[in-house]
Structure 1
Amino acid sequence: MLSGRLAVVTGAGSGIGRAVCRVFASEGATVIGADMNEKGMEETLAMIKDTGDHQSFQCDVSSSASVNNLLDKIKEKYSSAPQVAVNSAGITRDRTMMKLTEEDFDKVVNVNLKGTWLLNKAVGKAMLTNKVQGSIVNISSLVGKTGNIGQTNYAASKAGVIGITKSMAKEMGKFNIRVNAVLPGFIETPMTETVPENLMQMTKLLIPLGRLGNPEEIANTCAFLASDKSSYITGATIEVTGGLFM
């Protein structure tokens, strides 16, 4: 489904980002994984090394210099711009509104929102320069649509990702560059491992399918959006939530 595509994936060292790398590689893409966690990236790369000429680079998505350096390295290595980008890098710093510090608000917004904007801009520029018809997939969250107790910073950042996605889709459509967002619900990742068990059991009761999702289910949605099978989809937000809050 993605044979011959060059794909850059942020947040590739664990969770959804790692699953995207594995699914994309299995579908024939050449994968460039980017993450701050070098050890995690090495583990991801080891999982897919036998399927192609994949690479990993350390990248701080909240830094324009780091993001631009990533695109320069990709150009140097592959003599091309990515045809696909998945923005999966994200963090949480959960506290209720009155206890949340300005520092933790800024950290989450800088990675989740500013980081998405910076990579969209850098990848979009590279696609335009190289006249690439591309697909950008931004990982938002159901929380960006519904809000959540203790996550004003996270919810704001993920709502902003939806806004970036829809705006960039309008700007880039005439160049045959598609931009979409995936809104995961509760997925089994390192982020959800910190949720107390009693709250997790209560959450499962609210999910019509009765379980948490797994990262591969998000990655499969990303693969669809990255492929020609979704060639007339742009500016969309696709919820992958097991029916939570339908």
Structure 2
Amino acid sequence: MSSEEIEETVERVREASKRGDLDGKVAIVTGAGTRGGEGVGNGAATAILLARQGATVTLVDKEPEYMEITERVIEEEGGDYLSLEGDVTDPDDCRRIVEETVSRFGSLHVLHNNVGGGAPRESVEKASSDTWEASLSINLMSAVSMSKYAVPHIRDSGGGSIINVSSTTALRPKRDGSSAPYTTTKSAMMGLTRAMARDHGDDRIRVNCLLPGLIWTPGIARHLADEREKRKEATPYALEGSPWDVGWTAVFLASDRSRFITGAAIPVDGGLLLTAADH
């Protein structure tokens, strides 16, 4: 190559490296708010990082005020977003969220199914039918409904990525009260991920699953402040997880950098699943 050709190539590489990994992409993040306390939740961190990498993001939460921090950070960093109030346990809301996103931005490439919730630490013997129904609704069917309406639009946009959020509890239930409904539904999220990855490979849609471990969020801080040091010591090198760890892993799975990864269940747990400690 001539010196001029080398210089032109170097300049193109420089320009490419300045662009975010998700420039031109449209993403939906459910549970994009933060519930109480200082800092941000997993969904908020993910939405902020997706926007920081160039994506246009639809923020979804059942409580609009919970999204104020997410909105402010994205605005201050010059990102583009749409905030929608919505209950993703309601299939009609799921359809509306997807339709409003595509109507506003013209396409859809990424769906991050972050919404989930705990349940009482009860066994099959003790858990009520209402507890089972509530856990199924929020931890599994919310992702099913969002995906049902998102898949056609992601396919029409040329493909993309769906990221489901499960939990390390799916692989290692808690001995001191596992919450059978929570453990079961989070395990089912892994099965859903694998089925979707097989079903939608021809649509150029990759589907993967995150398994967060002991992540210190504002919501966790409200209930387990006295256990913080114990939680840190549960991993092989005593490192506390943060919502940003979950968010950056989601960014990777949303981007083309993970183009050869689908159907995977990826722990974000600092090695928690390697230890014998019971948390």
Structure 2 counterpart of 1:45: 71
Matching of residues 150-165 of structure 1 within 5 Å = 150-165=178-193
SS across alignment from 1:137: strand
Q: Is the 8 A contact 1:180 1:235 kept in 2?
A: yes
Q: Once the 2 structures are TM-superposed, how far is the Cα of residue 153 of structure 1 from its aligned partner?
A: 1.6
| 8 A Cα contact 2:86 2:97, kept in partner | yes
Question: C-alpha separation between the residues in 1 aligned to 2:226 and 2:62?
Answer: 32
Residues 3-14 of structure 1: pairs in structure 2 closer than 5 A? 3-14=23-34
Q: Is the 8 A contact 2:168 2:211 kept in 1?
A: yes
Matched, 1:122 2:149: yes
Match of residue 249, structure 2, among 198, 221, 236? 221
Q: Which has the larger radius of gyration?
A: 2
- Give the Cα–Cα distance (whole angstroms) in 2 for the partners of residues 100 and 205 of structure 1: 31
Q: In the alignment, which of 106, 119, 123 is matched to residue 93 of structure 1?
A: 119
Provide the C-alpha distance between the structure 1 equivalents of 2:48 and 2:265, rounded to a whole number of angstroms.
23
CA-CA distance at 1:131 after TM superposition: 4.2
Mean Cα displacement is larger for which, 117-126 or 190-199?
190-199
Map 1:26-175 → 2, pairs under 5 A: 26-50=52-76, 51-80=78-107, 82-97=108-123, 98-128=125-155, 130-148=156-174, 149-175=177-203
1:49, 1:202 → 2: CA distance?
Answer: 37
* Pairwise CA RMSD: 1.6
Range with bigger deviation, 101-110 or 206-215: 101-110
Return closer, same or farther for 1:108/1:191 CA change in 2, 3 Å cut-off. farther
Distance 1:160 1:92 in 2: 15
* Structure 1 Cα separation of the partners of residues 142 and 49 of structure 2: 23
The change in CA–CA distance for 1:24 and 1:75 in structure 2 (over 3 A counts) is: same
Asked if 1:2 corresponds to 2:22, the answer is yes
Shift of 1:72: 1.2
| Count of residues in Structure 1 that have an aligned counterpart in Structure 2 | 244
Q: How many Å separate the matches in 2 of 1:91 and 1:2?
A: 28
Letter in 1 for 2:207: V
Identify unmatched segments of 5+ residues in structure 2.
1-20, 35-40, 275-279
Secondary structure of 2:214's match? coil
- Out of 236, 242, 251, the position equivalent to 1:208 is 236
Distance 1:106 1:137, change over 3 A: same
Distance 1:186 1:71 in 2: 31
Report if aligned partners of 1:84, 1:134 keep a CA contact under 8 Å in 2.
Answer: yes
3-state SS, counterpart of residue 206 of structure 1? coil
Give the counterpart letter for 1:108 in structure 2.
S
Q: Secondary structure at the match of 1:76?
A: helix
Scaled by the length of structure 2, the TM-score of the pair is: 0.82
Q: Cα gap change, 1:153/1:201 in structure 2, threshold over 3 Å: closer, same or farther?
A: farther
Matched residue type, 1:44: T
Tell me which residue corresponds to 2:50.
24
CA distance in 1, matches of 2:268, 2:86: 27
Q: Does the Cα contact within 8 Å between 1:92 and 1:191 map onto a contact in 2?
A: no
Identity within the alignment, %: 32
